[in-house]
Amino acid sequence: MEYLVILIAAVFVNNIVLSQFLGICPFLGVSNRISTSIGMSGAVLFVMTIATTVTYLLHQYILVPSGLDYLRTITFILVIAALVQMVEIILKKVSPPLYQALGVFLPLITTNCAVLGVAILALGLENGSLLKAVFFALSHAIGFSLALVVFASIREFLELADLPEGMKGVPINLLVAGLLSLAFLGFAGLV
């Protein structure tokens, strides 16, 4: 039950993009095609879950016992950067088709603040455990994917829309994101 609440809260109520504003860069950057948005979602799902697992263990068993909690930001970002590189190398070797699908998105993920954000947020969970933190990351990644894919499918229609000159490009995308966020606001109070 507790896990169901985490899932629903992360995907709908506190959607990471639309209500917490993390990962806006890939949200606006790679959402012009549904296919690319699915690729990006896959890469984020993968990296976010692994990164949170590693940073959670690191924080719990190394940083906290040795009183180095204040180095959190530095260590986490380094771990994430190294991890992304490692995942890239391993995927290339182990599963070329998956690498083909996710490859171009992996380097972009280091600067995706959603990954670092979720890793930090996972530390603040009530009665936290490793399993819970990993599930928390997974749920947020699903929320990210949902927002990204829905947004991309709306943007594909926008290409055909007749817009005033000034609204073209960034402003209309932000407006659409705003309306999408408004729709997600309807889930508030669900859990």
Partner 1 sequence: MNKTLDQKQNFLKGIIKENPVFVMLLGMCPALGVTSSAFNGLGMGVATLFVLLMSNIVVSLIKSQIPNKVRIPAFIIIIASFVTVVEMVLEAYIPFLYEQLGIFIPLIVVNCLILGRAEAFASKNNLFSSVLDALGMGLGFTIALTALGATREILGSGSIFDIKFVGEDANTFILFILPPGAFIALAYLAVLFQRLTPKTS
**Contact range with partner 1 by CB under 8 A, out of 21-29, 59-67, 91-99, 146-154:** 21-29
> Is residue 111 a contact point for partner 1 (CB under 8 A)?
yes
Applying CB under 8 A, among 92, 117, 134, 150 the residue interacting with partner 1 is 117
Residue from 90, 130, 179, 190 touching partner 1 (CB under 8 A): that is: 179
Q: Which of 4, 68, 73, 95 contacts partner 1 by CB under 8 A?
A: 73
Distance CA 55, CA 72 (A): 9
Asked if 23 contacts 17 with a C-beta cutoff of 8 angstroms, the reply is yes
Q: Which of 38, 54, 77, 191 binds partner 1 (CB under 8 A)?
A: 77
Q: Check residue 143 for interaction with partner 1 (CB under 8 A).
A: no
Yes or no: say if 102 and 39 are a contact pair by the CB < 8 Å rule. yes
> Should residue 78 be labelled a site residue for partner 1 when binding is judged by CB under 8 A?
yes
Closest C-alpha to 8, from 142, 126, 133: 142
Tell me the angle at which helices 113-121 and 34-58 cross, rounded to the nearest 10 degrees.
Answer: 40
CB 26 within 8 A of CB 55: no
Residue with tokens 């990210």: 144
Contact residues: partner 1, CB under 8 A: 18-25, 28, 70-74, 76-78, 81, 110-113, 116-117, 120-121, 166-167, 170-175, 177-179, 181-182, 185
